[in-house]
């Protein structure tokens, strides 16, 4: 069942990819992610991590992502397309109240200009674009 569902979702994603997933200070650059589907997908969430280094309060240096739908809020009704849109939304709107990197969350809350400047700098250095 998992492989049929995954193939269908990937075909749907190719046919109708999320449009203009712009992510605030990171702009039009390309960020690489790994997606691992567990054998019992869609009953368990996919494991998604960034391969590209990202300066973000909800993404740590290993690329792990703190996002509720990848954990306790997962539902089999969700698709990989919705997961990718949620990740794009998280890039645009960090959640500093549930950080993986508290230092970056603190900067986001107390010095937004420095946060955005650092995020842009990391994007120029590590993202493709």
Smallest CA-to-CA distance from 3 within 40, 56, 47 is with 40
Q: Please list the alpha-helical segments (H only) found in the chain.
A: 2-15, 80-92, 102-110, 112-126
Known active-site residue 66 = yes
Catalytic residue of the set 26, 54, 66, 127:
66
Beta-bridge mates of residue 33:
50
Other residues' Cβ atoms within 10 Å of the Cβ of residue 125: 9
Phi-psi region of 38 (alpha: psi -120 to 50; beta: other; left: phi over 0): beta
Let me know: does 29 contact 55? Beta carbons within 8 Å. no
* Neighbour count for residue 17 (Cβ, 10 Å): 10
The residues annotated as belonging to the active site are: 66
């Amino acid at each position: 069942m998992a492989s049929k569902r995954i193939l269908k979702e990937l075909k749907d994603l190719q046919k109708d990819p999320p449009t203009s997933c712009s992510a605030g200070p990171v702009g039009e650059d390309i960020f690489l992610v790994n997606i691992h589907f567990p054998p019992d997908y869609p009953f368990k969430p996919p494991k998604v991590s960034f391969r590209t280094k990202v300066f973000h309060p909800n993404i740590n240096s290993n690329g792990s992502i703190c996002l509720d739908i990848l954990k306790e809020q997962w539902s089999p009704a969700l698709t990989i397309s919705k997961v990718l849109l949620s990740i794009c939304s998280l890039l645009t709107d960090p959640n500093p109240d549930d950080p993986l990197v508290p230092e970056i969350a603190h900067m986001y809350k107390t010095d937004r200009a420095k946060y955005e400047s650092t995020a842009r700098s990391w994007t120029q250095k590590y993202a493709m674009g």
